[in-house]
């Protein structure tokens, strides 16, 4: 069973191995929300519907961190790590750049002036072309997992996680997941979910699914707008509802006359 972390109304995994298990074995995609100097990094945030499904299948436990150490402690650790990483990169890149310059030093000396020694020119070019700062350094994609003691975490029950979403969305997500689809957040395309035939790394979404209550009135204008949206992004627009406790779908096909 995997341990996930609850924080400020969202559920995360900070462990790359757990993320690999969720994605490869359970088709749980989540969203990478970390950032290390403009490079996507852990943690991964799960949809509430993903978390509910995993909890109902006894695949995860969700904990909230309590008695967390002061943030200044982690800031100091981060700054020390960044300084060490920068120093290592400066040394490594300088050595790589030195070898590159040594292979063409004769041409550089000829261009710069033969009255200067190769070593002098080499050092000058090396100083100009091997500058690494915190703004252009390369960050590794890594994250230390949270290893929490029992005194530092509190178990979050399924009922509390269920409050983050709705019965309808959970039912629709589970139905799509059980049919073998990959499902992600659909906000950016005006829906609740995007649905894929395979992993989103390799496949485009084929459906935009919007969840609507069975008794909810959807106006013709809203239907037209949603249908045209689906057509414009080359996806099928789908309305999903619960009818007699079963998920029912209506696909909107837009045909130009």
Q: Does residue 184 belong to any structural domain of this protein?
A: yes
pLDDT of amino acid 199 = 95
For position 37, what pLDDT does the model report? 56
Work out how many domains the chain is built from and give that number: 1
pLDDT tens readout for residues 102-136: 888 888 888 877 677 888 888 888 888 878 888 88
Q: CB-based contacts of 153: which residues, under 8 Å, 6+ apart?
A: 63, 64, 65, 66
* Annotated catalytic residue within 167, 181, 196, 246: 196
pLDDT digits (tens, 9 = 90+) for 48-89: 999 999 999 999 999 988 766 666 767 787 788 888 888 998
Point out the catalytic residue in the list 24, 153, 235, 249: 235
**Which residue in 63, 204, 246, 249 is the catalytic one?**
204
250 in a domain, yes or no?
A: yes
Cα 19 to Cα 42: distance, rounded to the nearest angstrom: 9
Among the residue ranges 50-59, 85-94, 139-148, 169-178, the one predicted with the least confidence is: 139-148
Instruction: Specify whether 196 is catalytic.
Output: yes
**8-13 average pLDDT score:** 92
Query: In this structure, are residues 36 and 78 in contact, taking their beta carbons and an 8 Å threshold?
Result: no
Residue 1 lies in a domain: no
Query: Is the whole model's pTM more than 0.75, yes or no?
Result: no
Instruction: For residue 215, tell me if it sits in a domain.
Output: yes
Q: Which residue has the tokens 């040594």?
A: 102
Examine residue 224 and state whether it is found in any structural domain, yes or no. yes
| 38 in catalytic set | no
pLDDT at 142 over 60: no
CATH code at position 206: 3.40.1350.10
Question: For 203-243, how does the pLDDT look when each residue is reduced to its tens digit (9 = 90+)?
Answer: 999 999 999 998 888 899 999 999 988 988 999 999 999 99
Q: Does the residue 223 lie in any domain?
A: yes
List the domain range (segments joined by +) for residue 189. 166-257
Instruction: Find residue 156's DSSP bridge partners.
Output: 62
204 in active site: yes
């Amino acid at each position: 069973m995997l341990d996930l972390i609850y924080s400020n109304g969202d559920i995360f995994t900070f462990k790359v191995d757990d993320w690999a298990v969720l994605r490869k074995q359970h088709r749980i995609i989540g969203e990478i929300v970390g950032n290390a100097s403009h490079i996507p990094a852990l943690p991964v945030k799960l949809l509430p519907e993903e978390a509910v499904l995993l909890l109902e299948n006894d695949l995860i436990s969700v904990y909230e961190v309590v008695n967390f150490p002061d943030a200044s402690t982690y800031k100091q650790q981060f700054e020390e790590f960044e300084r060490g990483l920068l120093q290592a990169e400066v040394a490594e890149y300088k050595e790589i750049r030195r070898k590159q310059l040594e292979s063409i030093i004769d041409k550089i000396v000829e261009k710069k002036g033969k009255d200067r020694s190769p070593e002098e020119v080499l050092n000058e070019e090396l100083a100009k072309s091997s500058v690494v700062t915190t703004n252009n350094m390369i960050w590794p994609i890594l994250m230390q997992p949270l290893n929490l003691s029992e005194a530092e975490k509190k178990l979050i029950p399924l009922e509390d996680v269920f409050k983050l979403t709705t019965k309808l969305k959970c039912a629709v997500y589970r139905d799509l997941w059980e049919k073998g689809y990959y499902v992600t957040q659909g906000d950016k395309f005006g829906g609740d979910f995007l649905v894929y035939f395979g992993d989103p790394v390799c496949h485009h979404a084929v459906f935009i699914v919007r969840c609507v209550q069975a008794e909810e009135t959807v106006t013709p204008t809203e239907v037209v707008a949603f249908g045209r949206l689906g057509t414009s992004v080359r996806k099928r627009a789908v309305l999903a509802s619960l009818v007699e406790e079963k998920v029912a779908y209506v696909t909107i096909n837009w045909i130009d006359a």
